[in-house]
Structure 1
Amino acid sequence: MRFLGWDLSDPFARRPRAVDVAVVEEDGRVAFEQWAWPALDAARHLTPQALLAACPVGPTDVVVVDGPQALARPGAQVREAERLLRAPGRTPDTLPVPGAPFSGFVRGGVLLFAALHQGSGLPLLDLDTPHPHEARLFEAFPGATWRQLGGKALGKKTTPEGRTARRARLEAEGLRFSGTGLPTHDALDAALCAWLGWRTRSAPERVHAVGTPLWKDAEGWLREGRILHAG
């Protein structure tokens, strides 16, 4: 079993940043990869087929994504989990059109979760199982979890000092980084996501989910959804 953490970017940007991927093995070893978003089609859409081809998942992988899994409940402009964890990106009740801040990021996340659930059969928390140790596709918000693990003591995430502190904190939690290079802050966010997934199997009492349980509406859209969190 592998635990994958994905730090999403905006696939609708003019030049989308590659998605940072952390792969954590069952013994805590960490490796880093990147995958590129697929090209948009002629109508500037992301198709489920293209998304599945761009981000293959193994038959036993657990995937934790820094990106929104679902839309808000009808009539709401933010999901309850995002409000509780003070996420800067707010997901409305309809799929946003790229252009405004965070809109492309939100749209990409919602479409990716739908493609993974439908195409790869990854069980989602609440929709497919109430138990985190049985689900294999989760959402995380690293900003909130870093606050839980160290807060201001970790420093600014973009500085070498902040990145060193974050790597050390994950090492104290059992992850094993190879080499001497210092991961980028995006890679460390991906590692934090993978660590949360790892904890759902190795120490399920160390994680919980925040927000409103996930459901699928009459039109097939995923709505609300809980965010995996430490503590």
Structure 2
Amino acid sequence: MTHAPRFVGWDLTDPFARAPRPVDEAIVDADGRVRFSQRVWPRAPDPEALAEAFAVGPGDVVVVDGPQALANPGAKMRDAERKLRAPGRTPDVLPLPGPPFAGFVRGGVLLFAALRAHARLPMLDLDTPELSRARLFEAFPGATWRALAVEKLGAKASPEGRARRQALLEATGLRFENAGTCTHDQLDAALCAWLGWCTRARPGDVTAVGLPLTQDAAGTLREGRILDGVPRR
């Protein structure tokens, strides 16, 4: 039985917060229709629990707003984060929750490792050199919004900023049927899903920034490229 492709975007939150917020999920079908839902972090973020809480279907292409791996030894942040001016910096060791972005970074790295190990989702560079064959990617929506916008966007949480961002995605072919007014987290998730869709339908509209993903002798994932949109001319 052939499963229709789905493109899944997740806007990660901090699973180690006192009261973790749900993760907004956007699912885009092959025709560009968007629907939203949410995922809930497991109480104990061990690999099996993470893979179960973030289960995906056969053939799903998943794009996550969250770090996929640690920096290379001796680096304070990843090459892709520096190039895309990401506010969260992933160090070369897994951070303990507490400082700003530390729980978010830890959760992202643990989630990617769990999905690769337990859901067998192939990742770019480490498992395949081709965008069209990888099924688990990282994105940084802040950079891609800048790439898509012809002019400066309003604040992402403002009504004007949200309307402009939704219009940008609609111009790429996404259809927000019965979605109402989207939150900025939903729009970031939809942007992630759109990037996944581009790896199959519009490869010329997407690029991968940063150093290739590797796995060290201890089994730790390091660096990794971030999907980004090609700037509009």
TM-score, with structure 1 as normaliser: 0.96
Gap runs ≥5 in structure 1? 41-45
**Partner of residue 30 from structure 2, selected from 26, 32, 36:** 26
Q: Is 2:146 aligned against 1:142?
A: no
State the alpha-carbon separation in 1 of the partners of residues 203 and 116 from structure 2.
22
- Matched to 2:140, the amino acid is F
Q: Which runs of 4+ in 1 moved over 3 A?
A: none
Question: Where does residue 81 of structure 2 map in the other structure?
Answer: 82
CA shift at 1:154, angstroms?
2.3
SS in 2 for 1:74: coil
DSSP 3-state at the match of 1:201: helix
Q: Secondary structure at the match of 2:35?
A: strand
Give the alignment of 1:159-178 within 5 angstroms.
Answer: 159-178=158-177
Equivalent of 2:8, from 4, 11, 18?
4
Q: Deviations over 1:21-47 (max 9, x none)?
A: 00000000000000110002xxxxx20
State the shift of 1:205 in Å: 1.2
Q: What letter matches 1:168 in structure 2?
A: A
User: How far did residue 151 of structure 1 move?
Assistant: 6.3
Tell me if structure 1 keeps the 8 A contact 2:35–2:179.
no
Larger mean CA deviation between 146-155 and 178-187 belongs to 146-155
Letter in structure 1 aligned against 2:152 = A
Q: Aligned equivalents of 1:199 and 1:75: distance in 2?
A: 34
1:113: how far off? 0.2
Structure 1 Cα separation of the partners of residues 179 and 98 of structure 2: 39
Question: How large is the RMSD of aligned CA atoms in angstroms?
Answer: 0.9
1:129 corresponds to: 128
Match of 1:195 in 2: 194
Following TM superposition, by how much is the alpha carbon of 1:188 offset from its aligned partner in structure 2, in angstroms? 0.2
Cα-to-partner distance string for 1:149-190 (whole Å, 9 max, x where unaligned):
116532111001110111010000000001261110000000
Partner amino acid, structure 2, of 1:31:
R
Superposed, 1:1-231 pairs within 5 Å as 1-40=5-44, 46-150=45-149, 153-179=152-178, 181-231=180-230
String of CA shifts for 1:43-92, please: whole Å, max 9, x gaps.
xxx20111011111001100000000000000001000000000000000
CA distance in 1, matches of 2:32, 2:8: 12
CA distance in 2, matches of 1:180, 1:222: 36
| Partner secondary structure for residue 4 of structure 1 | strand
Residue 196 of structure 2 aligns to a residue in which SS? helix
List runs of 5+ in structure 2 lacking aligned partners: none
Instruction: For 2:26, give the aligned amino acid.
Output: A
- Code of the aligned partner of 1:219: A
Identity of aligned residues (%): 67
| Aligned equivalent of 1:43 | none
Question: What's the TM-score, normalizing by structure 2?
Answer: 0.96
- Could you tell me how far apart the structure 2 residues matched to 1:10 and 1:144 are? 20
